């Protein structure tokens, strides 16, 4: 919406201003490429390169004179309408394998091959292939609604469905940004006029969307714990600086976690951490949970005293202790039973339920503990007291 509103305003701008806007997408792509390289975001890097190449092609190729055969803007738009959704869909599946690497070189090779194929297709003598691509495959004439070919429309539709399904499954800002880029390019190609400001405005908007996604993901990685999804220790330190004159703080620890890891393995230990985190993130009483490190968690209660938060911590401790964790034994998935009874017997024989407990230490700001670090240290000391009392309890 913002890009379209800005595009409408370009009709009242002067020629020097329009010249700056025409160069803006290349500057945005260059900045985005540097940021992508710095943060090792190869998918965004290569999509930005593709967008810059496509914009240059539709802007400058139709106006080239001399040795180059005359190129029609319509032909360039047909090719762009095919290549952009195809590459967005394909690159959305690629893993981050680096830019200056073997995998990065292969992806650059793929882009160069597509560029050569596109240059071959838009030559006047290859009109029969473009005509074939641009013909109607479906028994519906959509050319009255959009100049985009049915083949390109199908690619846009397929890419959009793929990205939506990936977003439902993985819930990443990256797929959302790719959807935004897909929509922006579709609007530009639908306009089908290289002489207007539609292409530079919407291609610049696409670059900004990709840069925003990189920054957002980088912020999330810095301030969110990847395993549990809770705010990380860095986020805790920042929020501690915002505390007022009245607050309580709790330190939590999973009981016998080291022994549990040694017995069942670190993969199972990670599942336990995620289970506990899923419970403590819903702590009541106005608390906010963080992963402090290892098997330790922290909960901040701004504006609360120990007396106010202890009932909520007791409720949390009890909730964790009553949640069963199903431990799968080796070979539990082998074989199938022919009846429900056999299935249940196999399930109970292949699985074991264990119960996790936590110990909690809590402290509050007072005349003795005046700083957040002092309160945290006091809560940590209280946590050790809870351990000595026999664990699975709250200590002040």
44, 295, 308, 314: which one is catalytic? 295
For residue 288, list its beta bridge partners: 300
- Contact assessment for residue 88 and residue 236, using Cβ atoms and an 8 Å cutoff: no
The sign of the CA dihedral 346, 351, 352, 353 is negative
> Locate tokens 């069963």: which residue?
324
Question: Of 229, 232, 252, whose CA–CA distance to 298 is shortest?
Answer: 252
Beta strands 358-364 and 394-395, pairing class: parallel
| Annotation says 295 is catalytic | yes
Beta strands 358-364 and 247-254, pairing class: antiparallel
SS3 41: coil
- Contact assessment for residue 114 and residue 87, using Cβ atoms and an 8 Å cutoff: yes
The sign of the CA dihedral 214, 216, 220, 226 is negative
Q: How many CB atoms lie within 10 A of CB 278?
A: 13
The set of catalytic residues is: 295
């Amino acid at each position: 919406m913002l890009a379209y509103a800005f595009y409408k305003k370009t009709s009242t701008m002067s020629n020097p201003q329009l010249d700056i806007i025409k160069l803006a997408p290349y500057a945005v792509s260059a900045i985005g490429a540097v940021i992508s390289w710095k943060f090792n975001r190869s998918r965004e890097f290569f999509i930005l390169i593709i967008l810059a190449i496509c914009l240059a092609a539709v802007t400058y190729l139709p106006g080239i004179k001399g040795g180059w055969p005359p190129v029609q803007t319509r032909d360039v738009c047909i090719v762009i309408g095919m290549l952009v959704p195809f590459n967005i869909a394909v690159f959305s599946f690629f893993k981050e394998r680096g830019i200056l690497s073997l995998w990065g070189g292969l992806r650059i090779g793929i882009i160069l091959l597509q560029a050569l194929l596109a240059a071959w297709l838009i030559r006047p003598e290859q009109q029969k292939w473009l005509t074939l691509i641009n013909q109607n495959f479906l028994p519906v004439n959509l050319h009255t609604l959009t100049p985009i070919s049915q083949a390109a429309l199908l690619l846009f539709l397929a890419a959009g469905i793929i990205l939506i399904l990936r977003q439902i499954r993985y819930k990443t800002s990256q797929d959302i940004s790719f959807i935004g880029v897909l929509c922006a390019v579709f609007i530009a190609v639908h306009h089908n006029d290289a002489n207007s400001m539609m292409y530079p405005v919407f291609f610049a908007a696409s670059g900004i969307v990709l840069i925003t996604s990189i920054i957002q993901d980088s912020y999330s990685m810095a301030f969110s714990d990847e395993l549990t999804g809770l705010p990380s220790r860095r986020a805790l330190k920042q929020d501690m600086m915002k505390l007022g004159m009245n607050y309580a703080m709790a330190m939590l620890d999973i009981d016998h976690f080291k022994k549990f890891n040694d017995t069942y393995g670190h993969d199972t230990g990670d599942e336990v951490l995620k289970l506990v985190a899923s419970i403590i993130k819903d702590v009541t009483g106005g608390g906010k949970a963080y992963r402090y490190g290892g098997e330790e968690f922290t909960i901040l209660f701004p504006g609360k005293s120990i007396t106010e938060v202890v009932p909520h911590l007791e409720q949390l401790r009890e909730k964790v202790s009553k949640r069963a964790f199903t431990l799968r034994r080796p070979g539990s998935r082998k074989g199938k039973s022919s009846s429900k009874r056999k299935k249940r017997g196999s399930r109970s024989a292949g699985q074991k339920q264990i119960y996790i407990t936590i110990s909690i230490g809590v402290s509050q700001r007072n005349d003795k503990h005046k700083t957040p670090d002092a309160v945290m240290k006091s809560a940590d000391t209280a946590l050790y007291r809870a351990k000595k009392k026999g664990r699975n309890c709250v200590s002040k």
